[in-house]
Structure 1
């Protein structure tokens, strides 16, 4: 059994971003267990939880065994999806995947003494675009006019009424392939004439395009904020990151207050906030990814974020 209270990191084996924090925890002599629950439990790892009288929990991996009551923190980074083991029929594999999601996922989301960054159920709630927009307005952010609809007439009417134009955004980062190759669906400009009756197939999100001078990413780790100004030739700076430039930027007090309120609203410790900033200095909330990537930022900022996350995980429930 491990001595001391461990940090549990839930992520896939190829997550190099997690390695930045794991190295810091190692230097601090904080015990760490790395687990990819969607895959590792098919290759020898085991998880047990007993409830009622004699409640207990045990996690066994290839290298160690720990008492789950002695897990101080859980970092929900980028674990693989829960999928049934290979070799089963399609029906049996779907059944096994669902049982793993609600069984393994449920146990790992219910550790009694752990500090979550972030709790997986809170992540899922906070990933909803409609929930984000409602919370953003309530917390005091400026929010661009937005319509989510599967009615082509409503969508065309909305587009026609916006002299500055609109953009289309997917509601969820759904895996998509073109000719068998992975394809990203970026934010893009659309006109009323571009909107066809195909909108009726599923809900679409259309938003007034902010006449931005630049974008800002604010990475929040608890009360610590790390702001980066992003200059890009694209509507969606993620599309061609090799063309963007990043510099540190100060976060205005009003935005800082709104971010704090937003984190409390969703029960989050970590959040990656995206803003469009106008030439007049108005910061418009675009979205908050509760598990957004952060290691692409300038080295100084990346290192500071890694230390902030390590601090949260090391301190545990007292953070």
Structure 2
């Protein structure tokens, strides 16, 4: 029987919902967390004329690579080695595990949602914005700079948006720390700008924002209305104040998104847009592995079913 492989951690409510839906459809699903390797998981594969063949043991289940028909690269955890090992040995073992296990899996010629190499490359915001501009999407005026004069020249007398370029860093207790979205003006800048790269972007007037979830050829746009001042700046800071509404997507935006997804090599994406009072859709960013189950519930959007369709191979 053909198998759907889901790579994620144990505490993943989004994956839980999709696994439940696939089980209802009679699909054979293996859920695997890379944190189990090498302590409770084993890999045994051989190179053949068609690529790698063999098995990946996950707990009490043995997965034959030849049976895999699709892989969902959801949110697997880092590889874990025994704490009793010396620190250098642990670091080397994790490095080898990552190259071995992920190297074998990523070579499989099956449907990936998304392939980890494409997922990783698409996370760079400068690349996203450049590809979006080439794809014909309307992007805000933006600079990335470590030059104080350049930053001040861009701002002029305007108040602009400052946001982080990356996905944050892990704090001392394992919590992820992000640079908050904030408003800044030229007079607030100093030589600290030279310390690293910064992204400054025009502050686009908002009527509302849109979270557009793309799964293959299907698009699910949902308007997000902010109910507080904090949410108007960044809706992620105040989920309780938000309201949602399914909205149509303009044809030119749809076409631009399809070009964007193709160039980035993505099957799935969670895209954010600002819609101005005049109805212009301004592209902000795409998260190639963004959360989406919450908006499926809040806006009654069939994203679980769409993801299950895609993993079954029934959606392009």
TM beyond 0.5: yes
In structure 1, C-alpha distance between the alignment counterparts of 2:27 and 2:58, rounded to whole Å: 18
Please tell me whether the aligned partners of residues 170 and 177 of structure 2 are also in contact (alpha carbons under 8 angstroms).
Answer: yes
1:205-231: CA deviations, max 9, x gaps? 111111111110000111111111111
Could you say which residue in structure 1 is the equivalent of 2:235?
237
In structure 1, C-alpha distance between the alignment counterparts of 2:99 and 2:223, rounded to whole Å: 40
2:170 is aligned with 1:172: no
2:29 is aligned with 1:32: yes
Please tell me whether the aligned partners of residues 5 and 70 of structure 2 are also in contact (alpha carbons under 8 angstroms).
Answer: yes
Could you say which residue in structure 1 is the equivalent of 2:103?
106
1:97-119: CA deviations, max 9, x gaps? 2212221111111113x210111
In structure 1, C-alpha distance between the alignment counterparts of 2:32 and 2:269, rounded to whole Å: 22
Equivalent of residue 206 in structure 2, options 207, 212, 215: 212
| Structure 1 residues 122 and 53: CA distance shift in structure 2, 3 A | closer
Equivalent of residue 283 in structure 1, options 281, 292, 311: 281
In structure 1, C-alpha distance between the alignment counterparts of 2:172 and 2:194, rounded to whole Å: 21
| Structure 1 residues 80 and 178: CA distance shift in structure 2, 3 A | closer
Please tell me whether the aligned partners of residues 295 and 302 of structure 1 are also in contact (alpha carbons under 8 angstroms).
Answer: no
In structure 2, C-alpha distance between the alignment counterparts of 1:289 and 1:25, rounded to whole Å: 24
Unaligned runs of 5+ in 1: none
Deviation at 1:91, TM superposition (A): 2.3
Could you say which residue in structure 1 is the equivalent of 2:142?
146
Deviation at 1:26, TM superposition (A): 0.2
Kindly tell me the number of residue pairs found equivalent between the two proteins: 311
Q: Which moved more, 1:25-34 or 1:40-49?
A: 40-49
In structure 1, C-alpha distance between the alignment counterparts of 2:59 and 2:144, rounded to whole Å: 47
Please tell me whether the aligned partners of residues 296 and 302 of structure 1 are also in contact (alpha carbons under 8 angstroms).
Answer: no
Deviation at 1:74, TM superposition (A): 0.2
Could you say which residue in structure 2 is the equivalent of 1:63?
60
Could you say which residue in structure 2 is the equivalent of 1:256?
254
TM-score normalised by length of structure 2: 0.92
In structure 1, C-alpha distance between the alignment counterparts of 2:3 and 2:292, rounded to whole Å: 24
| Structure 1 residues 172 and 228: CA distance shift in structure 2, 3 A | same
Please tell me whether the aligned partners of residues 168 and 188 of structure 1 are also in contact (alpha carbons under 8 angstroms).
Answer: yes
| 4+ runs deviating over 6 angstroms | 178-181
In structure 1, C-alpha distance between the alignment counterparts of 2:175 and 2:47, rounded to whole Å: 46
Deviation at 1:194, TM superposition (A): 2.2
| Structure 1 residues 265 and 302: CA distance shift in structure 2, 3 A | farther
| Structure 1 residues 83 and 180: CA distance shift in structure 2, 3 A | closer
2:195 is aligned with 1:201: yes
TM-score normalised by length of structure 1: 0.91
In structure 1, C-alpha distance between the alignment counterparts of 2:49 and 2:219, rounded to whole Å: 44
Unaligned runs of 5+ in 2: none
